[in-house]
Copies of this chain bind each other. A is one copy, B any other.
Amino acid sequence: MNPEKLSPLDPLIHSRIRLGILSILASVEEATFNYLKETIGTTDGNLSANLMKLEESGYISITKTFSGKKPKTTCRITKKGLDAFRTYLRNLEAYLKFKK
Report A's interface with B, CB cutoff 8 A: 1, 3-6, 8-9, 11, 14-16, 19-20, 23-24, 26-28, 31, 35, 38-41, 89, 92, 95-96, 98-100
Nearest CB of B to A31, in Å: 8
Report B-chain residues with C-beta under 8 Å of the C-beta of A96. 23, 89, 92
A interface majority secondary structure: loop
Given contacts A1-B35, A14-B16, contact A98 B27 (CB under 8 A): yes
What number of copies of this chain does the assembly contain? 2
Q: Are A95 and B28 in contact (CB under 8 A)?
A: no
State in angstroms the CA–CA spacing of A4 and B20 once bound together: 12
A20 CB contact (under 8 Å) in B6, B15, B31, B40: B6
Nearest CB of B to A44, in Å: 16
Closest-by-CB residue of B relative to A40 is B6
